[in-house]
C-alpha cells in the first residue's frame, strides 16, 4: 500500500523519554476498514506508538496523518477532533470506578458530543445489548469480571462513534477463560468496518484477524506484511527469534 492512499500514515516518528529513545523513526501505513496488529517484545514501543496516534503523547519528530486531512502531530492540533475520531482501549480497562457502567459509557457522548442524556442512554443500552452486557448497565465497575470490564471499556470507546479504534493489549490482564469473549467483540467490530490498530500478544488472534502485521523491534517497524508473510515466512532474524520465543 502506498503512503498516499493509506488511511493512517505514520511517517518517521521519534519519541524519547528522559533521553531514552523509544520510537526511532517509526513508519506505518494503515488502510481504512482494516485491522493492523502490532507485535513485538515488551518495551519495543507498541503502547507508545498507539498513544502517539491518539495524541496522548506528543512526538519529538515525524508526522501522523489521518485520512489525509488530520495531522495528529501538528503544533496547534485540535485534540477534540482527534479524540472524537480515534478512541483507545487500554490493557487495564481504566473504567471510572465511581460511575455506573451506563454513566461510564454516556459520559463522553453527553459531555463531548453534546448529545442528550436520553439519546446517549438509549445508544449505550443498544451497544451493551450487542455485547451481551445489558444486565450490567447499573452495576459499578468493581462488580464486573475482567472480561466484562474490558468489554465495557470497548463499548465506552464505541459510544464515541470513532472511525479508528486503538487496542493496547486489551486481553493481557485477562484469564485465558475470558480472553475469548473479548476477542469475539473485536471480531465483530472488525466485521463492522472499523479501522483497528492493536498491540497484542495473542499471536493466533493476530494471525486470524489482522490484514497487516507489524513487528516492532527497538522502536522501529522491523518487518511488516500480511499475517501469512510475517508469521509463516519471516524474513529477518529478529522476527524469527521473537516468533520462536512466543510460540
Binding positions for other proteins, 172-231, rule CB under 8 A: none
Query: Interface with other proteins includes 45 (CB under 8 A)?
Result: no
Segment (H or E) for 217: strand 212-217
Query: Interface with ligand ATP includes 45 (CB under 6 A)?
Result: yes
For the CB of residue 230, give the shortest distance to other proteins in the complex, in Å: 28
Site string for ligand ATP, 190-229 (x = CB under 6 A): ---------x------------------------------
The residue among 232, 239, 166 whose CA lies nearest residue 200 is: 166
Taking CB under 6 A as the binding criterion, the range among 29-37, 38-46, 74-82, 173-181 that sits at the site for ligand ATP is 38-46
Q: Tell me whether strands 195-199 and 220-225 are parallel, antiparallel or unpaired.
A: unpaired
Q: Are residues 166 and 110 in contact, defined by beta-carbon separation less than 8 angstroms?
A: no
Residues 152 and 154: their CA atoms lie apart, in Å, by 5
Q: Tell me whether strands 195-199 and 164-168 are parallel, antiparallel or unpaired.
A: parallel
Q: Which long-range contacts (CB under 8 A, 24 or more apart) does 190-193 make?
A: 190/35, 193/33
Coil/strand/helix, residue 35: strand
Binding positions for Mg ion, 34-73, rule CB under 5 A: 47
Query: Interface with ligand ATP includes 54 (CB under 6 A)?
Result: no
Taking CB under 8 A as the binding criterion, the range among 2-10, 65-73, 84-92, 136-144 that sits at the site for other proteins is 84-92
Q: Which is nearer to other proteins, 89 or 230 (CB)?
A: 89
| Radius of gyration in angstroms for the set of CA atoms belonging to the chain, rounded to a whole number | 18
Cα-Cα-Cα-Cα dihedral of 166, 100, 177, 217, to 10°? Answer: 20
Residues 182 and 155: their CA atoms lie apart, in Å, by 11
Binding positions for other proteins, 163-182, rule CB under 8 A: none
Segment (H or E) for 225: strand 220-225
Which of 8, 13, 22, 164 is in the footprint of ligand ATP by CB under 6 A? 22
For the CB of residue 247, give the shortest distance to ligand ATP in the complex, in Å: 17
Query: Interface with other proteins includes 80 (CB under 8 A)?
Result: yes
Instruction: Using CB under 8 A, list all residues that contact other proteins.
Output: 54, 56, 79-80, 83-84, 87-88, 90, 92, 94-98, 107-108, 111-113, 156-157, 160
Instruction: Using CB under 5 A, list all residues that contact Mg ion.
Output: 47
Instruction: Using CB under 6 A, list all residues that contact ligand ATP.
Output: 17, 22, 40, 42-48, 169, 199
Amino acid at each position: 500500500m502506498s503512503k498516499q492512499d493509506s488511511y493512517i500514515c505514520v511517517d518517521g516518528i521519534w519519541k524519547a523519554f528522559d533521553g531514552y529513545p523509544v520510537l526511532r523513526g517509526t513508519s506505518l501505513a494503515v488502510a481504512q476498514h482494516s485491522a493492523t496488529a502490532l507485535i513485538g517484545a515488551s518495551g519495543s514501543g507498541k503502547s507508545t506508538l498507539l498513544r502517539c496516534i491518539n495524541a496522548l503523547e506528543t512526538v519529538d519528530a515525524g508526522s501522523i496523518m489521518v485520512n489525509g486531512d488530520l495531522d495528529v502531530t501538528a503544533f496547534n492540533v485540535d485534540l477534540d477532533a482527534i479524540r472524537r475520531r480515534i478512541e483507545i482501549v487500554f490493557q487495564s480497562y481504566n473504567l471510572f470506578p465511581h460511575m455506573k457502567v451506563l454513566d461510564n459509557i454516556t459520559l463522553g457522548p453527553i459531555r463531548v458530543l453534546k448529545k442528550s442524556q436520553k439519546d446517549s442512554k438509549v445508544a449505550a443500552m443498544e451497544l451493551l445489548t450487542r455485547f451481551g452486557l445489558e444486565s450490567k448497565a447499573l452495576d459499578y465497575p468493581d462488580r464486573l469480571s475482567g472480561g466484562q470490564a474490558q468489554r465495557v471499556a470497548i463499548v465506552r470507546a464505541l459510544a464515541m462513534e470513532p472511525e479508528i479504534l486503538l487496542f493496547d493489549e486489551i486481553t493481557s490482564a485477562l484469564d485465558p477463560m475470558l480472553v475469548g469473549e473479548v476477542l469475539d467483540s473485536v471480531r465483530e467490530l472488525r466485521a463492522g468496518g472499523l479501522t483497528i490498530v492493536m498491540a497484542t500478544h495473542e499471536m493466533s488472534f493476530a494471525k486470524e484477524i489482522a490484514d497487516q502485521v507489524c513487528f516492532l523491534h527497538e522502536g522501529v517497524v522491523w518487518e511488516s506484511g500480511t499475517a501469512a508473510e510475517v508469521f509463516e515466512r519471516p524474513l529477518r532474524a529478529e522476527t524469527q527469534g521473537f516468533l520462536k520465543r512466543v510460540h
